[in-house]
Amino acid sequence: MSVEAKVKGIVADQLEVAIDKLSAETTFEDIDADSLDVVELVMALEEEFDLEISDQEIENVNSIGDVIKYIESKV
Amino acid sequence: MISNYNSIIAGTGAAVPDQVITNQDLEKIVETNDQWIVSRTGIRERRKLEEGLSSVDLSERASREALQRAGVDPSEVDMIIVATITPDYPTPSASCLLQARLQSLKAGAMDLSAGCTGFIYALTVAHQFIRSGVYSNVLVVGAEVLSRVTDWEDRSTCVLFGDGAGAALLQRSSEDKGIINFSLKSDGRGAELLIIPGGGSAHPASQASLDNRLHYIRMNGNEIFKFAVGIVEETIYELIEPEGLKPADLDLFILHQANLRIIDHVRKHLKLPSEKFPVNIDRFGNTSSATIPIALHEEVIAGRLKEGDLVAMVGFGAGLTWGGILMRW
């Protein structure tokens, strides 16, 4: 499975949104993700991709596309 | 591991103040709103103790109920342990004040400071006295008056906390039930994440400590949230794996009521039904060391804890501290 598909799957699962509603352009705001949702999302991503993601690194991450780019730069 | 002397909870009790503070009430004090508070925390209202009363008043009510339900006279109590971060005084201890109120005159008395994990720590300490055969009846209390250390100008924390107390009478039993396993952990490197900086020897009360609002709870919410969702599940496995149990084998998970989102996260991750995870944070907010004994008492009263049920209690909080207890009811 591609990073994109995995990320979309995790976001859909964590935030309970339909996966076909998600694109690279979808922002956290679009799917009503608050700061605690982001924390949970980061934890799920850390588990899936076996990463440690610091708060500073995700400060500028606002969309699904940003997440995919970030993960691809790490794995 | 069950020894010759088992520790059972023979009676429970709880006490909360009458005054209800709703989210709408808070909207008048700080810039916040009901929808924000409910979606972020699950809290709808909390209780606030009236002026003139203090921690011991709640402790006494909860304790008397626990003793009565256990059928134990206060004079038969061997030891009193009160878990609290808001005792009546820096000294003497909250447990000594309670001992006098109850007239439990043969009992030793001590307080235990482990933040929101206090009740789990206290129950574990009590368990050691029972299991070693030293004592027969240990009264364990979690009591907090957090409204007295809440910064009512800080909208990120003042919506979270409430006042209340819960008690359990831990008793020696030869029956094959009671506490099966426990886990106590800490990580002092996270001390600053949840702290009342003033009032101790680092920053004793002074005009400056008052001006700088050092006597109130300060919390890094996101970091604590992340810490909590990680360790709750870890603790559950630590409790059940040595016994060859799986999460689905348990009947009830009484988790510290700090944030509904933490409870939901754990429940979803374990793929278990919500009936197994009692919630009272909507009514009482976070009452620190009191949330677990209050929730336990509510389950007992409602008849949802039945003889033979397996129950895990897990706490986490300032310190950082965390821990859990597995017991067969």
User: Is the ipTM here above 0.90?
Assistant: no
* DSSP symbols for B148-207: GS--TT-TTTTTTB-EEEEEEEEEEE-SS-EEEEEEEEE-GGGGGGEE--SSSSSS-S-H
Give the chain B residue nearest A54 (alpha carbons). B223
| The pLDDT value given to residue B76 | 98
Q: What is the pLDDT of residue B262?
A: 94
The distance between the two most distant Cα atoms of chain A, rounded to a whole number of Å, is 30
Q: Please indicate whether, in this complex, the C-beta atoms of B222 and A40 are within 8 angstroms of each other.
A: no
Q: Examine the pLDDT at B3 and tell me if it is beyond 70.
A: no
CA distances from residue B52 to B84, B102, B223 in whole angstroms, order as listed: 19, 20, 35
The answer on pLDDT for B46 being more than 70 is yes
- pLDDT > 90: what percent of chain B? 94
The amino acid that residue B185 corresponds to is K
Give the residue numbers in B contacting A (CB under 8 Å), as ranges. 39-40, 222, 225-226, 229-230, 259, 261, 265
The stretches of chain B forming alpha helices (DSSP H) are: 23-27, 34-41, 55-70, 94-102, 118-131, 207-211, 221-240, 260-270, 281-284, 291-301
Please write the tens of the pLDDT for every residue from B194-217: 999 999 999 999 999 999 999 999
Interval B262-310: pLDDT, tens: 999 999 889 999 999 999 999 999 999 999 999 999 999 999 999 999 9
Minimal-distance CA residue of chain A relative to B40: A36
Joined together, the tokens standing for residue B130 give: 């029972």
A46 in B contact zone (CB under 8 Å): no
Please count the residue pairs, one from chain A and one from chain B, whose beta carbons lie less than 8 angstroms apart.
Answer: 20
The conformation of residue A27, written as its DSSP 8-state character, comes to B
Residue A37: pLDDT band by 50, 70, 90 thresholds? Answer: confident
User: Residue B229: its chain A contacts at CB < 8 A?
Assistant: 39-40, 43
Crossing angle of the two packed helices A35-49 and B221-240, in degrees rounded to 10: 50
Tens of pLDDT, residue by residue over B93-121, are 999 999 999 999 999 999 999 999 999 99
Q: Is A21 helix (H, G, I), strand (E, B) or coil?
A: helix
H helices of chain A, where?
3-15, 35-49, 55-58, 64-74
**Tens digit of each residue's pLDDT (9 = 90 or more) over B141-186:** 999 999 999 999 999 899 999 999 999 999 999 999 999 999 999 9
Residues pairing with B143 in the sheet = B165
Between B4 and B112, the more confident residue is B112
Q: Please check the confidence at residue A55 and state whether its pLDDT lies above 80.
A: no
d(C-alpha B293, C-alpha B165), whole Å: 8
pLDDT band at B2 (very low <50, low <70, confident <90, very high): very low
Tell whether A19 lies on the interface with B, counting CB pairs under 8 A.
no
The residue from A20, A32, A34, A50 that is catalytic is A34
Active site residue A20: no
